[in-house]
Structure 1
Amino acid sequence: MKVSLGCDHGGFAMKEHVKGWLESHGYEVQDCGCYSTESVDYPVYGRAAAEAVASGACERGIVVCTTGIGISIAANKVKGIRCALCSEPLSAEMTRRHNNANMLAMGGGMIGANMADRIVETFLTTEFEGGRHERRVNLISDIEG
C-alpha cells in the first residue's frame, strides 16, 4: 500500500516518526512535505497529501500538524477525501469500519510516538464494513458535488 504524508512544522517530528514506522512495516511512502521545522502553512501540505490520495497515486494518506485540526480541515476540502482526526486507536478503527476514511490526521503535539504507531497500524489494517455504512458514505460524497 502506498501512503501519502503531509505535515506542517508542528507535525514534522511526528511525520518523520510515522514515515519510519511505515517504511519499516513495508509501506511505500510519498512524502508531500514539509521537510523541516521552519514555519510553513499547513493547508499547502494537507492539500498536497490529500490530492495524492484523491488522484489515486496513493491508497491512503496521513497528515500531521500540532493539533491535527487545521490540516484535517484542509485535507477534507479536496473532493473525494474523508479525513478523520484520531487521537486513539478506537477512533481510527471506527472511522475505517464505518466512514471508509481514506486519510488520517493526528496532532503531533497531542499524542506520543507509541500512540501514533498504534493509531496508524489500526487505520491501515482495518477494513471498511460496507453494508448500511456504504449508503452513508455515498451521502457524504453527494455533499461534495
Structure 2
Amino acid sequence: MKISIGNDHAGPEYKKAIVDYLTAQGHEVTNHGTDTFDSVDYPDFGHPVATDVEQGHADFGIVICGSGNGINMTVNKHQGIRAALCWTKEIAALARQHNDANIISIPARFTAIPQVIEMVDTFLKTPFEGGRHQNRVQKIACS
C-alpha cells in the first residue's frame, strides 16, 4: 500500500514512529513532513499529502499537527478528500466504515505514540461498509 504522510513541528516524533511501523509492515511511505521542531506552517505539509491521495499517487494519507484540526481543515479543502480527525482507534474505524475517509488527521498534543500506531493500523485495515453509507458519502462532494 502507498501512504503519504505530512506533519508540522508538533509531529516529527509521531511521524518517525508511524513511518517505521508502516515500512516494517511493507508499505511504501512518501514523507512530506518536517523533521524538525522549528515552527512551520501546517498547510505547507498538508496540501502535498492531499494532492497525493487526490491524484492516486497514494492510497491513503496521514497528517499530523498539534490539535489535528488545522491540518485536517487544510486537506479537506481538496475535492475527493475525506479526512477524519481521530483520537481513538474506534473513531478511526468509524471514519473508514461510515465515511470512507482517505486521510487520517492526528492530534499530536492530545495522543500518545502507541495509541497513534493503533489508530493508524485500524484506519488502514478497516474497509468502507458501503450500503446505506454510500449515498451519504456521495453527498459530501460539492461538485
Common fold by TM > 0.5: yes
Equivalent residue, structure 2, for 1:116: 116
* Percent identical residues: 40
What's the offset of the Cα at 1:50?
A: 0.8
Equivalent residue, structure 1, for 2:48: 48
Equivalent residue, structure 2, for 1:127: 127
RMSD across aligned positions (CA): 0.8
CA distance in 2, matches of 1:31, 1:18: 11
CA distance in 1, matches of 2:34, 2:54: 19
CA distance in 1, matches of 2:14, 2:73: 18
Contact 1:12 1:36 in 2 (8 A): yes
**1:9 counterpart SS class:** coil
TM-score, with length taken from structure 2: 0.97
More deviation in 31-40 or 120-129? 31-40
Structure 2 unmatched ranges of 5 or more = none
Runs of 4+ that moved beyond 3 A: none
CA distance in 2, matches of 1:127, 1:4: 18
TM-score, with length taken from structure 1: 0.96
Equivalent residue, structure 2, for 1:100: 100
What's the offset of the Cα at 1:35?
A: 2.6
Equivalenced residue count is: 143
- Counterpart amino acid of 1:80? G
CA distance in 1, matches of 2:86, 2:126: 14
Equivalent residue, structure 1, for 2:6: 6
Equivalent residue, structure 2, for 1:81: 81
More deviation in 55-64 or 26-35? 26-35
Structure 1 unmatched ranges of 5 or more = none
